Structure 1
């Protein structure tokens, strides 16, 4: 008897699993709180050089005299905006200031002056009272440090996935999840008082690793508690909690407008999960794999009792779960066909993640910061639900291609709305960016399922691991494209990041035309099956069990939805 058969006997998704699963969804909510928090924490408000001779200098214009002081001190860009990193230094600057010469109508800006780099700045406070960037002046020559910190955060996600995956198989899903959760809370509180960029970035690395690592543990634990026929629904629910976390985060930052206060509030919100230690059980499947059948039996008996079913203790007593043999990365490279398919899917993983995170990081550059980010959290709901509804109807390949092309073309179209009518068509620009975010969110589900079904069983985990690594590469490079756009400035700088994200998405989508459809096809088991998969002579449709999908394929699709890798 297999463990899934036991779950069918006690109830695949009974009262017990529903209660436990709800508790497991809350850490997914926490993932949403921190997975994008650097968008707010390290946002760069509008700024310019501080005028040293004007003691009460601020970014906003205070009066006519202040306006004249600014005009005399700060050069302008070609578009009329103030230069951010330079100021005019006059030979007798103090005399000019206090002799009111700055107010003379015949005074020519920049006469008898040299252009110098500034070391102090003033910041606009209409969107944020303070961000980490404005507090520590990470602008001008130090602006690249913002992108570096964001990149290192997602490097932490990659490292955390590896460490937490290894740890959860050795010390347990529950223990690993809670160790990660406690480290996350500690680092989130600590980052609020990070005195300089190095300690801040180290703490962000820890937040990235523990945040997503804990999320993966909750996914696995939830998957192993629920029967195979229900996993697709629970996977969708768990992702919805992630999206709720994104929306909640936006609300917190909107009302506080201060990065430090918001970080403390978000960290404190995670404290509610600590008492769940006494309510959430360890995975009985993992306990059996470790030979701890008695402990697993206690959990399963409690599950059966709450669900109103019965389970014989003898069923669990002698049950063992054998570790399946898996292939290696070398096996993935044994044929030209699988190499090409792996390269295409890895590029798609990267492109999806690049658009997903890039569009979000760019939210503040195309209009109202909070409204844009709020919308980008909300649109994940229809994106994921539509994918779940359509993926078994029109196929993995067609739906993934549709998502990539829709998101890519939407982002590419922003070059027209920004170039020809930047302000007039700004609502359309925002709409196109939001469509890109929704499409990339849906494409995550598609590419995960596509990867699961396209590669043979013996190297399936290797293929998924490779795809996940490339996804993290996409999230790590996304901030640099956003910074590039901000550096260029103007309408070109506003459109450039979205054009890059869109072009990458379109190219990735077109590459998928080379891949075979996997819907209603028998999943490959061996390397030879993987090589021959999709060829005309081997394209045999199964006698399907339900809704056009055999039992094995349904289970793998469910597992994929449960573990989507945002």
Structure 2
């Protein structure tokens, strides 16, 4: 939770998307390996805290870096496709944990190696986000990255093409290069309302998402099988959401997936805990995590489109912090036993779906680079709606 806020700010400021990702991968690998050497509980707990500080930002920084260069037609599909790797990792983790039951130290060594591999064999070949370059007035670097992308796609830019920020037409507007803190988000009414709604929805979604994964202990089935089934249930959700995203948009699809999860969790809370009905309860839970996993990852795409480039990662860092608060609460809800957790998850899913009605649609809308550009675009959209 702390790391998401810190590296969300650093990613928007001097470190950039790629620089922040390099740092968090390095720290994640080091702290994970040191955890395996812990001589006592307090050293172990300290290293787990430090690992969480770095690991909490890996998804955030990598998602923004992967999706910012993508145009509006494919942004949703590209964003959702990153989620397959997350679920694949959870499914693989279940198998790795089953094989490492004899040594928890070995488990931490094995699960730290992917960060090392990513840092040395993948990150060197990834470019910094051209949008980050542009907001920091490094137009030549942004054009270089775009020309490299065009070259890899066997295309080219005309020589007279250049880039400019969406606030450069206003001669009275001050340069916004340093405008990248949470205070900038809170000062604007548009982004302030969006931030509060995004954080609230992320918190509710996270409680349900992590809670359903942990709730396998209350269904009284094999824990490893339960985790695999839940993680595999997420993949069709990503595929279906990706296919429906260009047709229905972010807002209707987010509302539908949250309400689907909430309704089936509510149904599961009404089913008695007897042997003959455990499969039915698990099926309702699978549908619940199917819907909520679609929402959970759709929110990444949705949130990234709600905020301009200069504050995109810091705003997403705040929503990630709200999500981590939900993850902290989730195991406490699970402790209530058989029916109560499903009832809470159902209520949270329905409330989250209703809150999403208050957010604007972002499908096929441009990604704004500055706060001024966002406000100008919103005024233009409202004017068009009034005319129509």
TM-score over 0.5 for the alignment? Answer: yes
SS in 2 for 1:436: helix
The CA deviation at 1:352 is 0.7
Q: Aligned pair 1:499/2:343, yes or no?
A: yes
SS in 1 for 2:253: helix
Q: Map residues 525-564 of structure 1 onto 2, 5 A cutoff.
A: 525-526=374-375, 539=385
Q: Map residues 420-459 of structure 1 onto 2, 5 A cutoff.
A: 420-447=272-299
Name the one with the larger helix percent. Answer: 2
The CA deviation at 1:403 is 1.8
1:331/1:459 contact within 8 Å kept: no
Residues 156-177 of structure 1 show CA distances to partners (whole Å, capped at 9, x for unaligned) of xx22122222223313333321
Residues 467-509 of structure 1 show CA distances to partners (whole Å, capped at 9, x for unaligned) of 4443232112112222x33xxxxxxx22222222222222333
The CA deviation at 1:263 is 1.8
Q: Which residue matches 2:117?
A: 272
Q: How many residues align?
A: 365
Residues 194-235 of structure 1 show CA distances to partners (whole Å, capped at 9, x for unaligned) of 233332232222222212323322223223444454332322
**Distance between the aligned counterparts of 1:284 and 1:456, measured in 2?**
14
Which of 212, 229, 238 pairs up with 2:82? Answer: 238
The CA deviation at 1:245 is 0.9
Q: TM-score, normalised by structure 1?
A: 0.55
- Name whichever of 319-328 and 451-460 sits farther off: 451-460
The CA deviation at 1:310 is 4.0
Higher RCO (CA 8 Å, separation ≥ 6 residues): 2
Q: Aligned pair 1:200/2:44, yes or no?
A: yes
The CA deviation at 1:463 is 6.6
Sort the Cα spacing of 1:415 and 1:271 in 2 relative to 1 into closer, same or farther, 3 A.
same
The CA deviation at 1:295 is 5.6
Q: Aligned pair 1:372/2:218, yes or no?
A: no
SS in 1 for 2:37: coil
The CA deviation at 1:387 is 1.9
1:247/1:374 contact within 8 Å kept: yes
2:64/2:313 contact within 8 Å kept: no
Sort the Cα spacing of 1:452 and 1:297 in 2 relative to 1 into closer, same or farther, 3 A.
closer
- Name whichever of 518-527 and 214-223 sits farther off: 518-527
Q: Map residues 115-154 of structure 1 onto 2, 5 A cutoff.
A: none
1:344/1:508 contact within 8 Å kept: no
2:255/2:354 contact within 8 Å kept: yes
Sort the Cα spacing of 1:194 and 1:540 in 2 relative to 1 into closer, same or farther, 3 A.
farther
Q: Which residue matches 2:188?
A: 331
Q: Which residue matches 2:106?
A: 261
Q: Map residues 276-291 of structure 1 onto 2, 5 A cutoff.
A: 276-287=122-133, 289-290=135-136
SS in 1 for 2:87: helix
The CA deviation at 1:242 is 1.2
The CA deviation at 1:248 is 1.0
Q: Aligned pair 1:215/2:59, yes or no?
A: yes
1:357/1:475 contact within 8 Å kept: yes
Which of 332, 336, 353 pairs up with 2:206? Answer: 353
**Distance between the aligned counterparts of 2:309 and 2:109, measured in 1?**
44
1:395/1:518 contact within 8 Å kept: yes
Sort the Cα spacing of 1:187 and 1:397 in 2 relative to 1 into closer, same or farther, 3 A.
same
**Distance between the aligned counterparts of 1:456 and 1:364, measured in 2?**
42
**Distance between the aligned counterparts of 2:65 and 2:332, measured in 1?**
35
Q: Which residue matches 1:400?
A: 254
Which of 163, 166, 175 pairs up with 2:6? Answer: 163
Q: TM-score, normalised by structure 2?
A: 0.77
**Distance between the aligned counterparts of 2:307 and 2:20, measured in 1?**
29
Q: Which residue matches 1:412?
A: 266
Q: Aligned pair 1:390/2:244, yes or no?
A: yes
Which of 16, 24, 31 pairs up with 1:172? Answer: 16
**Distance between the aligned counterparts of 1:363 and 1:235, measured in 2?**
29
1:522/1:541 contact within 8 Å kept: no
**Distance between the aligned counterparts of 1:517 and 1:173, measured in 2?**
26
**Distance between the aligned counterparts of 1:378 and 1:197, measured in 2?**
33
Q: Aligned pair 1:518/2:372, yes or no?
A: no
Q: Which residue matches 1:472?
A: 324
Residues 275-294 of structure 1 show CA distances to partners (whole Å, capped at 9, x for unaligned) of 33443344455445556566
**Distance between the aligned counterparts of 2:40 and 2:2, measured in 1?**
23
Q: Which stretches in structure 1 are left out of the alignment for 5+ residues?
A: 1-157, 486-492, 543-566
The CA deviation at 1:331 is 3.5
**Distance between the aligned counterparts of 1:282 and 1:455, measured in 2?**
19
**Distance between the aligned counterparts of 1:194 and 1:423, measured in 2?**
42
**Distance between the aligned counterparts of 1:302 and 1:522, measured in 2?**
25
Residues 432-453 of structure 1 show CA distances to partners (whole Å, capped at 9, x for unaligned) of 1111111111122454566667
- Considering only CA atoms, is the larger Rg found in Structure 1 or Structure 2? 1
